[in-house]
Amino acid sequence: MKKLIPFFTTLFSSVVAYADYAMPIQGNKYAAEVDSLYGFLLNVSLFSFVLVIGGMIFFVLKYKRKTDNDGTPYISHNNTLEFLWSFIPFLIFMFVFAWGWKLYYQAKAYPENAFEVHAFGRQWAWDFQYKSGRMSTGEMVVPVGKPIKLIMTSSDVLHSFFIPAFRIKQDVIPGAYTALWFEADKEGEYQVFCAEYCGKSHSTMYAKVKVVSQEEFETWLAADPMKAYDGLNLADRGLKAMKTKGCNACHYLEKDQALVGPSLYGQFGAKRNFVDGSSGVVDEAYIRESIKMPNAKKSVDYENGIMNLIPVNEKEISWIIEYIKSTSKK
């Protein structure tokens, strides 16, 4: 008997350790609370499993058939037992329901003073916009120790914003706004996944949450995002900009092959026949129009494709033009 207590303590704490192992890093206190809940669920489940399946295995071995004429007792039911093993699970279920509710309520109680960021899901990237006007794609920088509220929508189909480290997730819906909030305890970089099937590149619609100190955040917010391109020539800037904004999800940038949309490699000067019957050439104006009004002049070969309006400023457009020109010199 005495040996059982340390045995079970070890077993159950290893289950809790397993829960920590099986979960991503705890990005904040809320994540730790969810993990505690999961640890509890795992322990109760393991206990029930051992009881039920252990009992099952014990019975089938102990009561293995000895002769073909074995008699068995006629035990039709036992009301006390039935009641107990209905009521006790019911109590456990109610307990975990309430615990889950409590945490969910916390997750939905958006703090009044939360720092708001707008997030947009699109096929196949995440864009972020800050109230200062700062925009970014694929990377959301936030200050540590402050509640952050995301106001989210989609430009096209359903997506879902999932930050495993914070144990939070929320679908983003075209035509509606949904919200999410978190407060990061420590600096670091956390993975974001899209968690609602949205087509071809659903698996690679990654983003990162970068949690930094307040000063670093303010520096970043005020900084010119164009600085990331310092030291590169215009064509290289164009390639980098397109990759950052996720253009390569639908267009091959470095080879001449069709994807969801036409390749952008070596296309400067190419002829195009448009859906409305007219035709033209891929020049500076056409490239710019294709970005600013994506579906205005579609090539007949891509009639059914729909391109999203992606935030690109004038300087970035000129880099993209230079990149496409540079690959077309041959």
Partner 1 sequence: MSQPGQNYLNHEKGLWSWLTTLDHKRIGIMYMISVFTFFFIGGVFAMLMRLELFNPEPLFAAQTYNQMMTYHGAIMTFMVIIPGVPAFIGNFILPLLIGAKDVAFPRVNLLSWYCLMVGAAISFATLFFAGVDTGWTFYTPYSIQTNGTVLMVLGAFVMGFSSILTGLNFIVTIHKLRAPGMDFFKMPLMVWALYSTAIIQVLATPVLAITLLLLAAEKLMGVGIFDPALGGDPVMFQHFFWFYSHPAVYIMILPAMGIVSELITTFSKKTIFGYRAIAFSSIGIAAVSFFVWGHHMFVSGQSQLAAVIFSFITMLVGVPTAIKTFNWVATLYRGSIEFRSPMLYALGFLFLFTIGGVTGIMLAVIAADVHFHDTYFVVAHFHYVMVGGTLMAIMGGVYYWLPKMFGKMYNELGAQISFLFIFCGFNITFFPQFLLGSYGMPRRYHQYLPEFTSLNQISSVGSWTIGVGFLIGLGVIVHCIKWGPKAPKNPWGGKTLEWTTDSPPIHENFETTPVVTEGPYEYGK
| Of residues 259-318, those binding partner 1 (CB under 8 A) | 306
Binding to partner 1 by CB under 8 A, coded x per residue (else -) over 141-160, reads: ---------------xxx-x
Residue 287's φ and ψ, nearest 5 degrees, are -60, -45
Does 97 bind partner 1 (CB under 8 A)? Our answer is yes
Residues in the chain: 330
Cβ neighbors of 238 (< 8 A, separation 6 or more) are 316, 319, 320, 321, 322, 323, 324, 326
Written as one letter, the residue type at 182 is F
Q: Least distance in Å: CB of 135 to partner 1?
A: 23
β-strand 271-273 against 279-281: which pairing, if any? antiparallel
For partner 1, the closer CB: 201 or 290: 201
Q: Least distance in Å: CB of 155 to partner 1?
A: 11
Residues 184-223 that bind partner 1 (CB under 8 A): 191, 193-204
Cβ neighbors of 101 (< 8 A, separation 6 or more) are none
Residues near partner 1 (CB under 8 A), total: 80
What angle, 0 to 180 degrees and rounded to 10, lies between the N-to-C axes of helices 29-62 and 79-108?
160
Q: Least distance in Å: CB of 270 to partner 1?
A: 25
For partner 1, the closer CB: 44 or 270: 44
Select from 7, 8, 14, 104 the one that contacts partner 1 (CB under 8 A): 104
Q: How many Cβ atoms are within 10 Å of 101's Cβ, its own excluded? A: 10
Using CA of residue 127, residue 288, residue 307, residue 293, what is the dihedral sign?
Answer: positive
Select from 133, 175, 231, 277 the one that contacts partner 1 (CB under 8 A): 175
Residues 40-79 that bind partner 1 (CB under 8 A): 41, 44-45, 48-49, 52-53, 55-56, 59-60, 63-66, 70-78
For partner 1, the closer CB: 38 or 130: 38
